[in-house]
Amino acid sequence: MGNVLVFGGSGQLGQCLQRVSQDRNLTNIIFLPEEQANILDVQVLEAAFAQHQPAYCINCAAYTAVDKAEDELELARRINKEGVENLGRLCGKHGTTLIHISTDFVFAGTGNQPLVETDETAPISVYGLTKLEGEQVIPAHTAQYFILRTSWLYSEYANNFVKTMLRFGRERDEMRVIWDQLGTPTYAIDLAGCILTIIESANKAYGVYHYSNEGVTSWYDFAVAIFELGGLPTRTVPIRTAEYPTKATRPAYSVMDKTKAKTQLQIAIPHWRESLRECISRLAQQQPA
């Protein structure tokens, strides 16, 4: 299947890709050290492509600080748009297939039906806008790309909602959590598996795809499940979005339809609660006795 270059390999999804690739005994996946993986440094990128001649490039690098982005538009745009364009240009030049990770934040989230890939995009935050701009610059440079939009990413690695709730659950008797934002959590290990399956199968059904776990939930119900599966007695209180103001506006409904991914990529997608149980079990095994 040729060499695979991973950018953003030290982040949450990158660490999950490392674990899943080890589980599958995939040895030609190259996780570049940080100094060789800055997607804004064209010379560094050109050297990496020239050295490794990748068949695939996985872009996990992104500006993801959703609220901070409201004050850092230019920086978010440089990373989420210009950096992606740099990779797209090199992928086109070298005949490399690009696998790029995007987000449910490209949608306004004002509907009440699961979103398909062709639904109108209308981001309501700087983060969502710059991620959409990143999607839009790719087709001008290469036709060999997979854009995977995902949502509510968590895992045993890095900082995420599940680990935060488990920590708070051990420290507090009560948590107030938003109940009027609906979406679907995504276990980053499952997403990593999807990415590697695309590569291993040499799938050429290029285009935009939605990938999250199955099912629908609110942040409140997600938190309740985390405390339950984590064996924590924390009382969870549902609150409205208006009671927890943030600088960036979030989509109220961002449930994504995964029919296209399941049929064209030939992947099975577990329910979010099943994957959450696995993640919490793995986290428990990491806890000191």
pLDDT along the chain (289 residues), means of 10: 93 96 95 88 96 97 96 98 98 98 98 97 98 98 98 97 97 97 98 98 97 98 98 97 95 98 96 98 80
Q: Which amino acid is at 26?
A: L
The pLDDT score that the predictor gives to residue 289 is 42
The pLDDT score that the predictor gives to residue 244 is 93
Query: What are the catalytic residues?
Result: 127
Note whether 187 and 163 are within 8 A (CB).
Answer: no
Helix (H, G, I), strand (E, B) or coil at 68: helix
C-alpha count within 13 angstroms, C-beta hemisphere, residue 51: 10
Q: Measured between alpha carbons, how far is 16 from 8 in angstroms, rounded to an integer?
A: 11
Outline where the chain has alpha helix (H): 12-23, 42-52, 73-77, 83-94, 126-137, 161-171, 188-200, 219-229, 259-264, 272-286
The pLDDT score that the predictor gives to residue 44 is 95
Residue with tokens 């364009």: 85
* Axis crossing angle, helix 272-286 with helix 219-229, rounded to the nearest 10: 40
Residue 149 in tokens: 């939009």
Q: How much is the pTM? A: 0.96
The dotted CATH code for 4-159+186-214+255-270 is 3.40.50.720
CB atoms closer than 10 angstroms to residue 47? 12
Give Cβ neighbours of residue 281 (< 8 Å, ≥ 6 apart). none
